[in-house]
Amino acid sequence: MGLLFLNLLDFSNMVNYGHENKYEQHLVFSVLKYIDTYYISATLEDFCRENHLKTYTVSRLLKKHTAKTFKELLKERKLQQAAYLLRNTTLSTEKIFHIIGYENSSFFHKIFREKYGKTPKEYRFQ
């Protein structure tokens, strides 16, 4: 639960507070909480179905308040978790990318390197 609040704090600086609509801000934080909790298998469609919302509406509000899409936020959360596991466990890289919900090793390595400028192995031993 503590990790949830740390991640919400990380994302909260992206939310546009200048807008008067508290409903929109609450909805954005709900999506961020959903991503933080269910990042392994989270989808925008599932969130919207559970909350009786249209995907277009949620997508538009996320982009408006965070400047990122649902997929970008989800990828960021997965990579945060991968970085945490690399630094704080002895799990293999293969096990880690499966734990965070990726199936393809080369894709995981590519996006990890784009985000952190290092391979997962280099990141672990820096």
Amino acid residing at 16? N
The model's pTM is 0.83
Contact 43, 2 (CB under 8 A): no
- pLDDT by residue (tens digit) across 32-45? 999 999 999 999 99
Give me the chain's average pLDDT, please. 88
Amino acid making up residue 54: K
- pLDDT by residue (tens digit) across 49-105? 999 999 999 999 999 999 999 999 999 999 999 999 999 999 999 999 999 999 999
For residue 10, the model assigns a pLDDT of 57
